[in-house]
């Protein structure tokens, strides 16, 4: 798709009419007096939490936002592979794939040794290593990501619409069991309070209100870290240039004029430049420098020497300061809270961590904060899990932010240092070294390296060897398979919708699954009939058998050599008012791309337990139903 | 995507709210007094014509439909590979891919030789041969195809909305040059005329009003062919069965109970059964037989013996009669019309050809009728082509119908015959023979075999050898390539949007395209600067250089070994109000899947000329700019 040729235009590029292309603003309406979850902030983090909850029937959610309406321009644009996998679970990855720029390679430019005032391409690398994810790394206006979430939330059977022009002015977190009480002021179209204040009582509150989070303030938490900030300039431009790599992601180090990043953008014409400005003094604000867009353009032109840059339109620009900082925790529990206390107020996204834009991590890590929290809130509110699982949110995501801050500090230091001029130069950084660091951390920036530590919802690694390619704690790494019932090639990971369900992938042992000696069949029998079975325990009496735990089988046979009807009943369950057979539970290896080989699954088979946020919770033998039952008993309650 | 578990529901399965899921009905409004094109009938054929015209700025179009609103259920469901390629050009193939059932294999069942009253699987074949198309053969409710077209038409800068409850009662085709005058009656909500009659004057009229086409009647044409019809029953059901191939397309021949086709449907639960009923006597109507849905279910159950069929819900069913018939021509020109006469009234789709549903051809061939006609009307109305090109519509599409009718008659005969009982049995047909016929004609049913004969818009085959894999007259067969400017892997065929433009694919010769001895560069120079250049002649003075003819280059180098800036200016044109460079015109071979090898392109290179409907119009040497110019001069006028 090509668009923005004659100027940037916000909204859906597939709709010709300007107004129809924009996400609608919810009309001003009264806030509910009482809700299950109050979300403060409708950025990508708040939208991820809201979208997850809107996918779960029966929950009441209120999403408030200070801005007057949906975002239309600017802010983040990088979408990592792991985030695309999450979008696939939410059902809109295809729309992002269609509209976005795909980062296929990253190129590196540094001073030409023969003409040091000129830049020269030094290298290029594949941006995402082969096999890391079935999804590409892409770039798309953050506003469009919002649009897709908003669209999803509107289409849901439990719609959630943001209430704009609402400002949180108070949050009362009672010591006892009562609801959290939020005081929210309406803002007029001028952004000033219009005199109306509303009160919302919420079982849980999630602050997704950015680096200056009000929720964080009411929790008594702060952002801690570097004293001084770095100033950055960013601009989305339509421009003519003879820089040859303008449609590649490019890291450009000049000798004396500074450094910049080129991020090509969706539509084929626009691109973004991130330009590093000066380090600020402690407590200095970038606003005091009065930096103009012309200054940014001038900087970029000098860095690009000898290439030209003729900017025709600046679609959006900003100058901002950033330091590596993070909060001490993500929820309202004091660090010495007794084990029985459970949190009621959470923060997520920029409210918890701030860092440089260089590796495109901000929006991605933030949305994954939201994905981690959303299903847990849903499970507790629907009575499926004890509130104790909510404690894992802060633990799991704080550790991710810690890694991110460390990574970013190192990357920022290397990015900002002047190019090394000689072997004796101890100040400078060899751009080749920067490139190596960047490349080594490709898996980290893709988001696929995140690994949650053992907890009540992440098992130990005693049986990891049964499925070495599905590391416990990391996201389930999809692989191609063929569906038994209809011979359709699919990605196994794509069966996992963001629907709050746990998944059990039963990888078959060497026995035929339609024979009595099959371990797979024996485990299915246990799961379907034994009183200790987590499937039986967790499933409400009137619900389909896969309502809480979705069991999938992966067999070793070709789909021509097995029929679904011969397999254990649990793998062809009857569902719904008519008792129709769900024919989509069993998969076969793709010829030539055997999932058992690719993911190192043992000939004894394996059970891979996957959380609602797609992370592998456990790997267990088919032959240990008691261990499986005990693991689920940690966090799944018996349905009434 | 899984849906319809608890019953069929029309509309978008991704929207929870019933009403919001349905395409809106255009409110009753006055018809325009005068239009460029009046389309009668909003089935798939009429929608294809309308969608094509709505993609072309500045045309006025009126689309009238007798029904009270958009289709919601039933009718056709098969979408051939070639049709998916067309949907890709219209921009909604991704939506169809996501929602549809994919036909991966076809299975054949026949009487078990040991228990002839039982059926047994005899064979299975891959449904689409490898490499035939980048698109799969899929199945989706016709109503959803309508929805996608309607959505596209609403989103256009030149929106076209159907006017429902309008019945064509008269069509005056004057002998001279004046407009065709249509008389149209409004229908009330009861389907009866409400007394209001409107008159629409149209430069062109297209009758897409089905087998009993009123437009065809006013043209004095008929459907001709078999005297007797065959009766068919069809039903979309939600059912429980132990037939093992219920999620495969299945052709089932029983010994004595008749034959049926199983077509699995979107959503994972529903399937369609086509059941062949009796041959009818001449002039007999199937309605006279009073066939009930219970009769169809009973027939199906007997054919499926020994498998069970427990129907829980019939989402839609119909009994209808069909014979192999076609019209004598597709436009209003008498066969002896002098060369200077050009047609003004056309028919397309079922108005032109009727046949059995067995090979899933009806909707597909009809939409491709519409695709063939739409761009030609647009080119004439926008002054780009002389009206004479409209004569090619009837010629090209009549020949396709002729082939289809012959194919269908043969297939129907073989399908309906009882299975051969012995080698001496001259009545019966060996199901293996049926299977062979079916398989041999896979390319035909995929729609990729259609080949238009030489005409003013299809060249002769003197230079076909330069690009043997792009047969002149057939659709441009896509292949994977990598875009030079950003290293993105894409399908070359997908650069062709349904935007009414001609395309020139310039396949490079062995010389480097950035060197002076390159034939590719020489041709670009001619096209960009020579007064005889069709690009220069056809492009209006104030339009972008690719407004009428979109030139694309395919080079032989790896994208690391060439920069866009070094290539001829025509392949990196500046466009729009800012003069931005279009960076998406040049492509490189995909490593290991070289398009030059795969499509047999000569080391001398080749020019492949592609029509707006994706058919290859000509193959010429890079070195023959005059021949290229002469070919375009046949049908492209000089822009004023």
- What is the 8-class DSSP label of residue A322? E
The answer to whether A268 faces chain B, any CB pair under 8 Å, is yes
What is d(CA B314, CA B309) in angstroms, rounded to the nearest whole number? 13
Burial A183-194 (b: 16+ CB within 10 A, else e): ebbbbeeeeeee
Q: Which residues of B are less than 8 Å from A313 in CB distance? A: 578
**Pick from B157, B248, B583: which is nearest to A16 by CB?**
B157
Q: Is the pLDDT of residue A637 over 90?
A: yes
Q: Is the pLDDT of residue B419 over 80?
A: no
List, in sequence order, the alpha helices (H) in B330-481: 362-381, 391-416, 431-440, 442-446
Beta bridge mates, A480? A491
What is d(CA A173, CA A155) in angstroms, rounded to the nearest whole number? 33
The answer to whether B188 faces chain A, any CB pair under 8 Å, is no
Closest CA to A121 of A249, A263, A264, A273: A249
The answer to whether the CB of A348 falls within 8 A of the CB of A317 is no
Confidence class of residue B188 from pLDDT cuts 50, 70 and 90?
Answer: very high
B524, B528, B530, B536: CA torsion to nearest 10 = 130
CB count, 10 Å around CB of A537? Answer: 18
Mean per-residue pLDDT, A502-509: 98
Mean per-residue pLDDT, B140-152: 97
Q: What pLDDT, on a 0 to 100 scale, did the predictor assign at position B288?
A: 78
Q: Which residues contact A517 (CB under 8 A, 6 or more apart)?
A: A511
Mean per-residue pLDDT, A453-474: 98
pLDDT in tens, B173-184: 998 889 999 999
Q: What pLDDT, on a 0 to 100 scale, did the predictor assign at position A408?
A: 86
Confidence class of residue A481 from pLDDT cuts 50, 70 and 90?
Answer: very high
Q: How far is B315 from chain A (nearest CA, A)?
A: 13
Mean per-residue pLDDT, A216-234: 89
Both tokens of B80, joined, read: 């051939």
Surface of A (120-159) touching B: CB under 8 A: 124, 155-159
List, in sequence order, the alpha helices (H) in B28-141: 44-54, 81-90, 93-99
Interface predicted TM-score (ipTM) of this complex, two decimals? 0.95
The answer to whether the CB of A199 falls within 8 A of the CB of A32 is no
Cross-chain Cβ contact B244/A578 below 8 Å: no
- What is the 8-class DSSP label of residue A335? T
Both tokens of B249, joined, read: 């397309």
Lowest-pLDDT choice from A206-220, A420-434, B274-288, B616-630: A420-434
The answer to whether A217 faces chain B, any CB pair under 8 Å, is no
The answer to whether B278 faces chain A, any CB pair under 8 Å, is no
What is d(CA B36, CA B44) in angstroms, rounded to the nearest whole number? 20
**Which helix (DSSP H) or strand (DSSP E) does residue A36 occupy?**
strand A34-40
pLDDT in tens, B534-590: 999 999 999 999 999 999 999 999 999 999 999 999 999 999 999 999 999 999 999
Question: What mean pLDDT value characterizes chain A?
Answer: 94
Q: Which residues of B are less than 8 Å from A7 in CB distance? A: 577-578
Cross-chain Cβ contact A563/B485 below 8 Å: no
Q: Is the pLDDT of residue B425 over 90?
A: no
For A224, list phi and psi in degrees, rounded to 5: -125, 145
Q: What pLDDT, on a 0 to 100 scale, did the predictor assign at position A320?
A: 85
Q: What is the DSSP string of A368-388?
A: HHHHHHHHHHHHHHTTSS-GG
Q: What pLDDT, on a 0 to 100 scale, did the predictor assign at position A594?
A: 98
Q: Which residues of B are less than 8 Å from A583 in CB distance? A: 246-247, 268-269
Q: What pLDDT, on a 0 to 100 scale, did the predictor assign at position A473?
A: 98
pLDDT in tens, A266-300: 999 999 999 988 777 877 887 778 899 999 999 99
Q: What pLDDT, on a 0 to 100 scale, did the predictor assign at position A430?
A: 77
The answer to whether the CB of A5 falls within 8 A of the CB of B576 is yes
CB count, 10 Å around CB of B471? Answer: 17
Using alpha carbons only, what angle is made at residue A415 by residues A410 and A420, rounded to the nearest 5 degrees? 105
CB count, 10 Å around CB of B210? Answer: 21
Between A25 and B336, where is the model more confident?
A25
Chain-centroid distance, C-alpha B574: 34
What is d(CA A591, CA A593) in angstroms, rounded to the nearest whole number? 6
Highest mean pLDDT among A18-22, A241-245, B321-325, B433-437: A241-245
pLDDT in tens, A395-431: 999 999 999 998 888 887 777 777 777 777 777 777 7
What end-to-end distance do the CA atoms of chain B give, in Å? 51
Phi-psi region of B154 (alpha: psi -120 to 50; beta: other; left: phi over 0): alpha
The answer to whether the CB of A567 falls within 8 A of the CB of A581 is no
Strands A480-483 and A489-491, sheet pairing:
antiparallel
Cross-chain Cβ contact B574/A313 below 8 Å: no
Closest CA to B76 of B354, B325, B283: B354
What is d(CA B105, CA B136) in angstroms, rounded to the nearest whole number? 11
What is d(CA A560, CA B61) in angstroms, rounded to the nearest whole number? 51
The answer to whether the CB of A505 falls within 8 A of the CB of A492 is yes
Q: What pLDDT, on a 0 to 100 scale, did the predictor assign at position B355?
A: 85
Cross-chain Cβ contact B104/A269 below 8 Å: no
Q: Is the pLDDT of residue A444 over 90?
A: no
Question: What mean pLDDT value characterizes chain B?
Answer: 94
Cβ pairs bridging A and B (under 8 Å): 127
Mean per-residue pLDDT, A436-464: 91
Q: Is the pLDDT of residue B438 over 80?
A: no
Q: What pLDDT, on a 0 to 100 scale, did the predictor assign at position B427?
A: 74
Q: How far is A508 from chain B (nearest CA, A)?
A: 21
**Which helix (DSSP H) or strand (DSSP E) does residue B144 occupy?**
helix B142-155
Both tokens of A586, joined, read: 């069993």
Mean per-residue pLDDT, B74-97: 96
Q: Is the pLDDT of residue B306 over 90?
A: yes
Cross-chain Cβ contact B580/A14 below 8 Å: no
- What's the pTM? 0.96
**Which helix (DSSP H) or strand (DSSP E) does residue A521 occupy?**
helix A519-529
Beta bridge mates, A109? A121, A252
Q: What pLDDT, on a 0 to 100 scale, did the predictor assign at position A625?
A: 97
What is d(CA B429, CA B161) in angstroms, rounded to the nearest whole number? 49
Both tokens of B570, joined, read: 């025509």
CB count, 10 Å around CB of A113? Answer: 8
Both tokens of A58, joined, read: 């029966």
Both tokens of B562, joined, read: 């060439």
Q: What is the DSSP string of B551-610?
A: EEEE-SS-TTS--GGGS-GGGS-EETTTTEE---SEEEEBTTB-HHHHTTB-TT-EEEEE
Q: Is the pLDDT of residue A336 over 90?
A: no
Is the bond preceding residue A306 a cis peptide, omega within 30 degrees? yes
Is the bond preceding residue B519 a cis peptide, omega within 30 degrees? no
Both tokens of B174, joined, read: 């004057």
Strand order in the sheet with B502-507: B489-491, B480-483, B586-589, B549-554, B502-507, B606-610, B616-620
Q: Is the pLDDT of residue A346 over 80?
A: yes
- What is the 8-class DSSP label of residue A540? -
Q: What pLDDT, on a 0 to 100 scale, did the predictor assign at position A436?
A: 80
Confidence class of residue B74 from pLDDT cuts 50, 70 and 90?
Answer: confident
The answer to whether the CB of B486 falls within 8 A of the CB of A247 is yes
Phi-psi region of A195 (alpha: psi -120 to 50; beta: other; left: phi over 0): left
Q: Which residues of A are less than 8 Å from B240 in CB distance? A: 574, 578-581
**Pick from A157, A313, A583: which is nearest to B578 by CB?**
A313
Beta bridge mates, A353? A326
Query: Which residue on chain A is closest to B239 by alpha carbon?
Result: A580
C-alpha neighbours within 13 Å on the C-beta side of residue A333:
20
Confidence class of residue A612 from pLDDT cuts 50, 70 and 90?
Answer: very high
**Pick from B6, B487, B565: which is nearest to A576 by CB?**
B6
Closest CA to A552 of A510, A623, A495: A495
Chain-centroid distance, C-alpha A451: 14
What is d(CA B308, CA B241) in angstroms, rounded to the nearest whole number? 5
pLDDT in tens, B451-485: 999 999 999 999 999 999 999 999 999 999 999 99
């Amino acid at each position: 798709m090509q668009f923005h040729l004659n100027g940037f235009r916000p909204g859906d590029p597939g709709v010709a009419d300007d107004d129809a292309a924009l996400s609608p603003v919810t009309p001003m309406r009264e806030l509910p007096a009482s809700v299950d979850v109050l979300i403060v902030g409708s950025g990508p983090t708040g939208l991820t939490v809201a979208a997850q909850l809107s996918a779960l029937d029966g929950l009441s959610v209120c999403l408030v936002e200070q801005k007057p309406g949906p975002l239309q321009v600017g802010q983040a644009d990088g979408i990592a592979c792991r985030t695309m996998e999450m979008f696939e679970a939410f059902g809109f990855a295809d729309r992002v794939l269609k509209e976005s720029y795909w980062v296929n390679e990253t190129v590196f430019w540094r001073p030409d040794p023969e003409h040091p005032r000129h830049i020269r391409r030094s290298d290029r690398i594949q941006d995402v290593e082969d096999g890391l994810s079935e999804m590409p790394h892409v770039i798309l206006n953050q506003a469009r990501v919002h649009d897709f979430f908003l669209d999803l939330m509107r289409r849901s059977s439990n719609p959630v619409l943001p209430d704009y022009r609402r400002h949180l002015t108070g949050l009362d977190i009672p010591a006892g069991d009562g609801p959290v009480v939020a005081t929210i002021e309406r803002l007029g179209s001028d952004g000033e309070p219009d005199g109306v204040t509303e009160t919302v009582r919420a079982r849980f509150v999630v602050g997704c209100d950015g680096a200056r989070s009000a929720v964080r303030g009411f929790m008594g938490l702060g952002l801690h870290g570097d004293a001084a900030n770095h100033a950055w300039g960013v601009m989305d431009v339509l421009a003519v240039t003879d820089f040859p790599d303008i449609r590649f992601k490019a890291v450009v180090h000049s000798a004396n004029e500074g450094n910049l990043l080129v991020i090509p953008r969706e539509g084929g014409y626009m691109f973004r430049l991130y330009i590093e400005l000066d380090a600020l003094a402690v407590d200095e604000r970038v606003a005091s420098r009065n930096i103009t867009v012309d200054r940014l353009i001038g900087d970029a032109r000098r860095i690009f020497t000898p290439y030209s840059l003729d900017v025709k339109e600046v679609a959006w620009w900003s100058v901002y300061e950033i330091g590596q900082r993070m909060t001490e925790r993500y929820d309202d529990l004091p660090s010495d809270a007794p084990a029985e206390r459970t949190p009621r107020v959470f923060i997520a996204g920029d409210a918890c961590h701030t860092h440089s834009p260089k590796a495109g991590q901000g929006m991605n890590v933030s949305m994954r904060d939201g994905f981690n929290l959303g299903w847990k809130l849903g499970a507790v509110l629907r009575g499926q899990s004890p509130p104790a699982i909510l404690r894992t949110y802060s633990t799991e995501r704080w550790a991710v932010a810690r890694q991110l801050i460390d990574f970013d500090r190192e990357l920022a230091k290397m990015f900002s240092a002047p190019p090394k001029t000689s072997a004796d130069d101890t100040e400078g950084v060899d751009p080749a070294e920067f490139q190596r660091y960047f490349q080594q951390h490709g898996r980290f920036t893709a988001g696929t390296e995140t690994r949650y530590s053992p907890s009540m919802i992440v098992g130990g690694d005693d049986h990891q060897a049964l499925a070495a390619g599905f590391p416990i704690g990391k996201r389930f790494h999809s692989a191609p398979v063929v569906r038994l019932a209809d011979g359709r090639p699919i990605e196994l990971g794509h069966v996992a919708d963001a629907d709050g369900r746990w998944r059990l992938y039963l990888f078959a042992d060497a026995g035929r699954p339609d024979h009595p000696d099959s371990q797979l069949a024996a485990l299915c029998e246990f799961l379907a009939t034994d009183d200790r079975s987590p499937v039986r325990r967790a499933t409400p009496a009137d619900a389909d058998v896969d309502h809480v735990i979705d069991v999938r089988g992966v067999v070793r046979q070709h789909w021509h050599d097995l029929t679904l009807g011969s397999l254990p009943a649990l793998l062809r369950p009857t569902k719904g008012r008519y008792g129709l057979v769900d024919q989509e539970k069993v998969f076969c290896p793709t010829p030539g791309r055997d999932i058992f080989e690719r993911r190192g699954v043992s000939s004894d088979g394996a059970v891979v337990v996957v959380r609602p946020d797609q992370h592998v919770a456990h790997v267990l033998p088919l032959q240990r139903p008691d261990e499986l039952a005990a693991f689920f008993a940690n966090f799944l309650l018996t349905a009434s």
